[in-house]
Amino acid sequence: MQALKSKNIDVSIDDFGTGYSSLSYLKQLPFSQLKIDRSFVSDIDSDPNDAIIVETIINLANNLGLNVIAEGVETQQHVDFLKSKGCANFQGYFFGHPVPADQFQIYALQKYTFLV
């Protein structure tokens, strides 16, 4: 991972807060981004514990100088909450559903013509 970092390749911790993700990895390994697992994001508007967990992960990432991306963003309320807590990167059905690569290219060119 250090070799990747030396070549300016960023590495993310996916599904942070679940499974084998550990706070000790944040000290030991050269990550540049945390991805908050969708299982926390999906209920931030209905479960106070999930809202606190998400806010804490965002604060942790920001304080460590890491980018943070929230997975599973499905509503404007999710976007509003996450932005208010300092998260600027999102992925989820609110922005679009998975599509094959050829369809994505057409979608991106139609929606984001400034990219060409």
Strand pairing category for 67-70 and 89-90: parallel
Element (H, E) at 12: strand 12-16
Please name each of the domains of the chain with its CATH number. Answer: 2-115 (3.20.20.450)
Placement of tokens 């050269």 in the chain: 30
| pLDDT tens digits for range 42-78 | 999 999 999 999 999 999 999 999 999 999 999 999 9
* CA pair distance 57, 37, nearest whole angstrom: 10
pTM for this predicted structure: 0.78
Beta-sheet strand order (sheet of 12-16): 12-16, 33-36, 67-70, 89-90
Instruction: Look at residue 114 in the predicted model and tell me its pLDDT.
Output: 54
Q: Which residue type is seen at 21?
A: S
Quick check: 11 and 32 in contact, CB under 8 A? yes
